[in-house]
């Protein structure tokens, strides 16, 4: 069955970077886009963008442009989201998710990133 397993919780200081991983199993990794969505405490879900795992093309939400980087390692069936210049407002649960298409049918369990001095 399709599974997306994310890395564990992180605590970072303001100005630092964080890299979250998302390991996929149960399907052919390169056949689907991988999306990233975050949810700050008590806030709505926020779409960050996607990576085309097959060709490494990426699309980023304008809000995160310049601060976020999506990468993947096809040999490890793993995608990564790196967010830099962290500030307190970046404290959130970060999710990876997969379609079939833009419909997000499969989600990772989430990774809590806390930004605190």
Partner 1 sequence: DIVMTQSPDSLAVSLGERATINCKSSQSVLSSYSNKNFLAWFQQKPGQPPNLLIYWASTRESGVPDRFSGSGSGTDFTLTISSLQAEDVAVYYCQQYYSMPYTFGQGTKLEIK
Asked whether the beta carbons of 81 and 22 are under 8 A apart, the reply is yes
Out of 71, 82, 84, 104, the residue judged to bind partner 1 by CB under 8 A:
104
Q: Is residue 27 part of the contact set for partner 1 (CB under 8 A)? A: no
Q: What are the strands, taking DSSP E only, across 15-110?
A: 18-25, 33-39, 45-52, 58-60, 68-73, 78-83, 92-98, 106-107
d(CA 96, CA 77): 13
Name the one range near partner 1 by CB under 8 A: 8-16, 23-31, 69-77, 105-113: 105-113
Q: Is residue 103 part of the contact set for partner 1 (CB under 8 A)? A: yes
Out of 7, 52, 58, 61, the residue judged to bind partner 1 by CB under 8 A:
61
Out of 1, 55, 62, 117, the residue judged to bind partner 1 by CB under 8 A:
62
Neighbouring CB atoms inside 10 A of 38's CB total 23
**Contact residues: partner 1, CB under 8 A:** 44-47, 49, 59, 61-63, 95, 97, 102-105, 107-110
């Amino acid at each position: 069955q399709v599974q997306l397993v994310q890395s564990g919780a992180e605590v970072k200081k303001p100005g630092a970077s964080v890299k979250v991983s998302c390991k996929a199993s149960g399907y052919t990794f390169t056949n689907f886009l991988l999306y990233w969505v975050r949810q700050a405490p008590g806030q709505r879900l926020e779409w960050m963008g996607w990576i085309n795992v097959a060709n490494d093309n990426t699309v980023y939400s304008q809000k995160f442009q310049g601060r976020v980087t999506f990468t993947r390692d096809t040999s490890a069936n793993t995608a990564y989201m790196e967010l830099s210049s962290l500030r307190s407002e970046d404290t959130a649960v970060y999710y990876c998710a997969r379609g079939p298409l833009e419909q997000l049918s499969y989600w990772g369990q989430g990774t809590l990133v806390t930004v605190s001095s």
